[in-house]
Structure 1
Amino acid sequence: MPKQVDHELQRQSISQAALSVIAAQGLEAARLRDVAEAAGVTTGAVTHYFDGKDAMLEAALDEIVRQMIAEMDAAWDGPTQDVGAFIDSAAQFLPIDAEGLQGWRIWFAFWGRAIVDERLRAKHRAYYATFAARTDEALRAAFPGLTRATARSLADAIIAAIDGLGVRATLEPDAWPPKRQRAALRLLLDPMLTHATRGE
């Protein structure tokens, strides 16, 4: 009998391989051949699922965002009503371990490309809209007294804080160990969240 292939699983496997190649070599240096080797498939198999390098790279971006959204949903699963616990959950999105640092390096690579690629810029805007919506939902679940407008403003500020610290820690990993990242995030978010949740 011919071998049954799970095409969605194969596509996801190739996307994961693309992520590892981009993290190691950079976006511009990533080649279909390298991705095929990392995925354990032929170059022909890669081109079967993706009609070129740009399509493969976009799929890799989709995969990392899918992972990030899954992490957001897991981190903020259920109400907490505790500012400290909420900030601890938010810290999971910083580059505080090897896997997180790799993800941020890949994200950086796509940022650089999105500056000159309108299609990637549009995807980037859509992703951030999703991140903001998920953070907004988590805030209102954790702190039911927040108004919708306040929750949305807080979501934007939280994402900006994570982005800023993520940039510093990715470019200067030795200077920004996990403990320093978490402490800085707490300094940024604690006063803002405490003020908002007290209705001051």
Structure 2
Amino acid sequence: MPKKVNHEEQKHILGKAAWRVIKKEGIEGASVRKVAEEAGLSAGSLRHYFSNQNELLAYSMNLVSERVKTRIQNAAFTDDHFENMILVLGELLPLDEERRLEMEVWIAFNIKALVDPHLSELSSRVYEEMKTGIRNIIEGLVKLGLSGTEMKIEEEAGRLHALIDGLALHAVMKPDQFNEEKMKAILRNHLLSLLEK
């Protein structure tokens, strides 16, 4: 009897195989053949799930975003709203090996998105989702009375978004200088600076 294969699970495995190839060889090296080889499949088998490289790359890029959302949804939230905000924002940073790999491939995807309209659309969607999420955190500081009502929400959300992006990029480029503790401390200190004195 043939082995039953869960279609979504197999796509997930292939998406993660694409990440590993991208980490080793860059996004241009993530051919259907190389990703199939990394996943232990034939290129023909991979085509049952993705008809071409663009579909595979788009799925792999979206997988990064979905994993971040899943971790946030499953986070161990407490009654401490400030700490919950730190927890959510930490999911956007490469604080461990799993998130570092995700960030490395996310950066590679976004560079390719500059010249690939299909990936550009996905990149823009995720950017807007992240922008909204960060704005919600800044708004939350005000609504919870942690920051004053005079706070310029859009401006502070933009600053926080730039801080997150900058930390993530520095951590990927210089992991020895931007480790987990340093990134968490910078993030915490920035949010603390927004609290009402």
TM-score by length of structure 1 reads 0.81
* Corresponding residue for residue 123 of structure 1: 122
2:9 & 2:105 partners in 1: Cα distance?
A: 21
Which structure 2 residue ranges, 5 or more long, are not aligned?
none
In the alignment of these two chains, the number of paired residues is 193
1:56, 1:167 → 2: CA distance?
Answer: 24
Q: Aligned in 2, Cα 1:111/1:7: closer, same or farther, shift over 3 Å?
A: same
| Displacement after TM superposition at 1:127 (Å) | 0.8
Q: CA deviation at 1:143?
A: 6.1
1:172, distance to aligned residue in structure 2 (A) = 0.8
**Alpha-carbon contact 1:27-1:109 (below 8 Å) kept:** yes
Q: Percent identical across equivalent pairs?
A: 27
Q: Report the CA distance between 1:21 and its aligned residue.
A: 1.4
More off after superposition, 47-56 vs 86-95: 86-95
- Residue number in structure 1 paired with 2:59: 59
Q: Secondary structure at the match of 1:28?
A: helix
Distance 1:79 1:140 in 2: 18
TM-score (norm 2): 0.82
Taking CA–CA contacts closer than 8 Å with sequence separation of 6 or more, which of the two structures ends up with the larger relative contact order?
1
TM alignment of 1:1-200, pairs within 5 A: 1-75=1-75, 77=77, 80-82=80-82, 84=83, 86-137=85-136, 144-145=143-144, 154-192=156-194, 194-195=195-196
Contact 2:58/2:118, CA 8 A, preserved across alignment: no
- Structure 1 residue runs without a partner (length 5+): none
**Structure 1 range deviating more: 31-40 or 166-175:** 31-40
Within 2, Cα distance between the matches of 1:75 and 1:112?
Answer: 30
Q: Deviations over 1:5-36 (max 9, x none)?
A: 32222222211211121122210112222211
